[in-house]
Amino acid sequence: MSRDVALTARMKYILKRLTSFDLSRVWSFASQIAEEQGKWAPRVFCDMLIWAAFHDTAYIDYYEADFALLSKAERKTFMTSLIQHHLAQAVNKRADIHNFENKLDFNRRFAEYLGRDWLDLDQADAETLKAFAEKNPVFIAKTPVGREGKGVFRYEASDVADWNAFRDELRDKGQRLIEQNIVQHPYLAEYCAGTVNTTRVATFFDGEKVHVLMAAQKFGRGAVSDQFTWGGFFTMIDEHGRSFGPGHTGKHKSRYETHPDSGKSIVEFEVPMWDRVVELVTRAAQEVPSVPYIGWDVAVTPEGPLLIEGNWTPGLYETRVSATGIRTGSRAKHRPVIEASRR
């Protein structure tokens, strides 16, 4: 049994899984895994139940990390959503996570790291919004609280005829945060010009040192967001800012050695200005010491990297052996935060 999650947290998780247990859904996962990976479905089904009950592995984690193809020892090198959620709950102070959970609060707290104009519609009338849009003909509207890019929208000023009505429409939809559209680095635009392709970097600040735990490069397909819900995919990034395998979605069987639209190489990708990206998140990670475990979304522009947002639960990004051939996950790099969660 894993020792990376406290017993009380594990028991709560098991109880929750039992009360919400959906036999048909688990069997559906097992059948899909068996078909994709040439396994026997009943064996996969039983294995999934065992790893959910005793090894902190949700069914979706089992599927996305290709656990059916890995040995027990190999599986133990991977992070899971339960472990990550437990770590975030254990080390991040609940009273201060609003600085990351609410995008308006985040923009106020991390204003010096944003590198873009923005406004809060609750504090801006129609004329102010119009003036902002005239300066930024393409602009982004966001719901202050949202996940997976679902609350992100792109607008063009030329499409708006009545600014009073438009402001009311945005507020009615909860799209209070208005931001300047980001112009990304030309190298990133070569991969997908229609989407700002961001880098996710997970960090942990132990009070003295900032540890970079994981990095992944996300790629879009032309939509307003590079998240999976908009068709995006990712590749894992090493400590030098380079891809160390093909890209994949993590959500279904996929493999991208090149970007499917631009044809640019994923396996040869390097994050531009990587040293400056690390320097940026290292500084930002020390701003709110009471929330030390964060997943940062960074956009690299021609002038340098800037922050898009910070996630107090960093998001699960792992390699996938069926796509990359890599059989080792990132749990070892998370030892600093795992050890801190036990104090």
The predicted pLDDT at position 1 comes to 43
Span 93-104+184-341 CATH architecture: 2-Layer Sandwich (3.30)
Residues of the chain with CATH 3.30.470.20: 93-104+184-341
For the chain of 343 residues, list the mean pLDDT of each consecutive stretch of 10. 58 63 85 93 96 89 94 97 94 97 98 98 97 97 83 95 98 97 98 97 98 98 86 96 94 89 98 98 98 98 98 94 94 96 88
Name the CATH topology of 117-180: Dna Ligase; domain 1 (3.30.1490)
Residues of the chain with CATH 3.30.1490: 117-180
Q: What is the 3-state secondary structure (H, E, C) of the chain?
A: CCCCCCHHHHHHHHHHHHHCCCHHHHHHHHHHHHHHHCCCHHHHHHHHHHHHHHCCCCHHHHHHCCHHHCCHHHHCCCCCHHHHHHHHHHHCCHHHCHHHHCHHHHHHHCHHHCCCCEEEHHHCCHHHHHHHHHHCCEEEEECCCCCCCCCEEEEEHHHCCCHHHHHHHHHHCCCCEEEECCCCCHHHHHHCCCCCCCEEEEEEECCCCEEEEEEEEEECCCCCCCCHHHCCEEEEECCCCEECCCEECCCCCCCECECCCCCCECCCCECCCHHHHHHHHHHHCCCCCCCCEEEEEEEEECCEEEEEEEECCCCCCCCCHHHHCCCCCCHHHHHHHHHHHCC
The predicted pLDDT at position 10 comes to 59
